[in-house]
C-alpha cells in the first residue's frame, strides 16, 4: 500500500495545528498544571518560569509547527513509499 505523500503531509500539518491550539487553550485555562506537566516532560524544574502567551505567539507557533509537521509527514510518506 502506498501513501499519498502530499495528503499525509497536510494531515500531519492539520493535526499539529489542532494539537497546538488545544495545548495553548490548556495553558490559558490551567497555567499552573501545564507548567508542572511541561517541567515533568523536560525532566526540569521550570516552576519559577511563567507563561508569556500572546495571540500573535500562538498563531506564529501554530504556523511553524504545522509547516514542520507537514514537511516531516511528507518525508515519512515519501520514504515509506520508497521502501514498499
Into how many domains does the chain fold? 1
Instruction: Quote the pLDDT of residue 47.
Output: 81
Instruction: Quote the pLDDT of residue 84.
Output: 87
- Nearest by Cα to 45 from 53, 34, 35, 31: 35
Q: Give residue 38's domain range.
A: 5-83
Q: What is the pLDDT of residues 9-47, one digit of tens each?
A: 999 999 999 999 999 999 999 999 999 999 999 898 888
Instruction: Quote the pLDDT of residue 48.
Output: 85
pTM of the model: 0.84
Any idea which residue has 500531519 for its cell? 12
| DSSP codes joined into one string, 48-78 | T------HHHHHHHHHHHHHHHHHHHHHHHH
Mean pLDDT of the chain: 94
Confidence of residue 80 (pLDDT cuts 50, 70, 90): very high
Amino acid at each position: 500500500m502506498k501513501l499519498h505523500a502530499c495528503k499525509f503531509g497536510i494531515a500531519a500539518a492539520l493535526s499539529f495545528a489542532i494539537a497546538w491550539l488545544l495545548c495553548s487553550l490548556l495553558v490559558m485555562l490551567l497555567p499552573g498544571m501545564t507548567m508542572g506537566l511541561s517541567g515533568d516532560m523536560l525532566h526540569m524544574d521550570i516552576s519559577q518560569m511563567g507563561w508569556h502567551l500572546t495571540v500573535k505567539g500562538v498563531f506564529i507557533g501554530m504556523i511553524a509547527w504545522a509547516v514542520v509537521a507537514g514537511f516531516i509527514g511528507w518525508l515519512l510518506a515519501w520514504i515509506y513509499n520508497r521502501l514498499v
